[in-house]
A and B are shown apart, each in its own frame.
Chain A
Amino acid sequence: MHFSRRALLTVPLFLCALVLLRQGIVVATQQVPLIGRQVEVMQQQDIDPAALFYTESRVALRAIRQADARVN
Chain B
Amino acid sequence: MNKSWTEDLVAILLGTVILAIALLVFLLAPLGDVSESVEQASLMAGFSADNWMADNEFISGTGELLNSLANSSRPGRWSTNPFGAFSLNTLTFGIGMLVFFIALFGAGTVLMKEKTGPFIKGFLLVYGVALAAFLLGNQQEFRDLGLGYQLWAIILGLLVSNTIGIPDFLRPALKHELYIKTGLIMLGAEVLFGKILAIGLPGIFVAWIVTPVVLITTFWFGQKVLKIGSKTLNITISADMSVCGVSAAIATAAACKASKEELTTAVGLSMVFTSVMMIALPAFITAVGMPEVLGGAWIGGTVDATGAVVAAGAFLGDTALNVAATIKMIQNILIGVLAFGVAVYWTAKVDKTADSEVTAAEIWTRFPKFVLGFLGASLVFSLLYEILGDTLAVILVEGAAIEFTSDMRGWFFALAFGSIGLSTNFKELRSQFSGGKPLILYACGQSLNLCLTLLMAWIMFYKVFPGITDAL
| A residues at B contact (CB < 8 Å) | 3, 6-7, 9-10, 14, 18, 21-22, 25-26, 29, 34-35, 37-39, 41-43, 45, 47-57, 59-68, 70-72
Q: For the complex formed, measure the closest distance between the CB of A45 and the CB atoms of chain B, giving whole angstroms.
A: 6
B460 at the A interface (CB under 8 A): no
Contact, CB under 8 Å: A63 / B322 = yes
Contact, CB under 8 Å: A42 / B190 = no
How many chain B residues touch A (CB < 8 A): the figure is 64
Contact, CB under 8 Å: B144 / A25 = yes
- Complex Cα–Cα for A47 and B314 (A): 9
Q: For the complex formed, measure the closest distance between the CB of A6 and the CB atoms of chain B, giving whole angstroms.
A: 5
B273 at the A interface (CB under 8 A): no
Q: For the complex formed, measure the closest distance between the CB of B471 and the CB atoms of chain A, giving whole angstroms.
A: 5
- Complex Cα–Cα for A72 and B200 (A): 8
Given contacts A35-B279, A49-B145, A52-B410, contact A59 B321 (CB under 8 A): yes
Given contacts A52-B246, A52-B247, contact A68 B283 (CB under 8 A): no
Q: For A9, list chain B residues within 8 Å (CB).
A: 163
Q: Quick one: closest B residue to A4, CB to CB?
A: B164
Contact, CB under 8 Å: A61 / B279 = no
Contact, CB under 8 Å: B322 / A50 = no
Given contacts A59-B321, A68-B199, A71-B472, contact A50 B149 (CB under 8 A): yes
- Complex Cα–Cα for A53 and B331 (A): 11
Contact, CB under 8 Å: A53 / B322 = no
Contact, CB under 8 Å: A71 / B468 = yes
Given contacts A50-B305, A67-B325, A68-B198, contact A6 B163 (CB under 8 A): yes
Q: What are 17 A-B pairs with beta-carbon distances under 8 A?
A: A3-B164, A14-B159, A29-B141, A37-B315, A49-B145, A50-B150, A52-B148, A55-B403, A56-B306, A57-B307, A63-B322, A63-B325, A64-B198, A67-B323, A67-B326, A68-B199, A68-B326
Q: For A52, list chain B residues within 8 Å (CB).
A: 148, 150, 245-247, 305-307, 410, 413
Q: For the complex formed, measure the closest distance between the CB of A47 and the CB atoms of chain B, giving whole angstroms.
A: 5
Contact, CB under 8 Å: A51 / B325 = no
Given contacts A47-B310, A50-B143, contact A72 B197 (CB under 8 A): yes
Contact, CB under 8 Å: B159 / A60 = no
Q: For B307, list chain A residues within 8 Å (CB).
A: 47-52, 56-57, 60
| B residues at A contact (CB < 8 Å) | 49-50, 136-137, 139, 141-150, 159, 163-165, 187, 190, 195, 197-200, 244-247, 278-279, 282-283, 305-311, 313-315, 318, 321-326, 328-329, 332, 394, 398, 402-403, 406, 410, 413, 468, 471-472
Contact, CB under 8 Å: B50 / A57 = no
Q: For B141, list chain A residues within 8 Å (CB).
A: 22, 25-26, 29
Given contacts A49-B310, A52-B305, A60-B329, contact A22 B139 (CB under 8 A): yes
Q: For B332, list chain A residues within 8 Å (CB).
A: 53-54
Q: For B311, list chain A residues within 8 Å (CB).
A: 38, 41-42, 47, 49
Q: For the complex formed, measure the closest distance between the CB of B201 and the CB atoms of chain A, giving whole angstroms.
A: 10
Q: For the complex formed, measure the closest distance between the CB of A24 and the CB atoms of chain B, giving whole angstroms.
A: 9
Contact, CB under 8 Å: B146 / A60 = no
Partner pick for A64 among B147, B163, B195, B318, CB 8 A cutoff: B195
Partner pick for A70 among B50, B403, B471, CB 8 A cutoff: B471
Contact, CB under 8 Å: A64 / B306 = no
Partner pick for B322 among A38, A43, A48, A64, CB 8 A cutoff: A64
Contact, CB under 8 Å: B410 / A56 = yes
- Complex Cα–Cα for A55 and B324 (A): 15
Q: For the complex formed, measure the closest distance between the CB of A46 and the CB atoms of chain B, giving whole angstroms.
A: 10
- Complex Cα–Cα for A52 and B150 (A): 9
Q: For B472, list chain A residues within 8 Å (CB).
A: 67, 70-71
8 smallest A-B Cβ distances: which pairs? A50-B148, A51-B307, A49-B146, A63-B325, A67-B322, A49-B311, A10-B163, A25-B141
In addition to A18-B136, A43-B144, 13 A-B residue pairs with Cβ atoms within 8 Å of each other are A7-B164, A41-B315, A42-B311, A47-B314, A49-B143, A49-B146, A52-B245, A52-B413, A59-B321, A61-B398, A63-B313, A70-B322, A71-B468
Given contacts A18-B136, A57-B307, contact A10 B164 (CB under 8 A): yes
Q: For B329, list chain A residues within 8 Å (CB).
A: 54, 60, 64
Q: For B325, list chain A residues within 8 Å (CB).
A: 54, 57, 59-60, 63-64, 67
Q: For the complex formed, measure the closest distance between the CB of A43 and the CB atoms of chain B, giving whole angstroms.
A: 7
Q: For A49, list chain B residues within 8 Å (CB).
A: 143-146, 278, 305, 307-308, 310-311
Given contacts A42-B311, A53-B406, contact A6 B305 (CB under 8 A): no
Q: Looking at B143, B197, B311, B403, which has the most chain A CB atoms within 10 Å of its CB?
A: B311
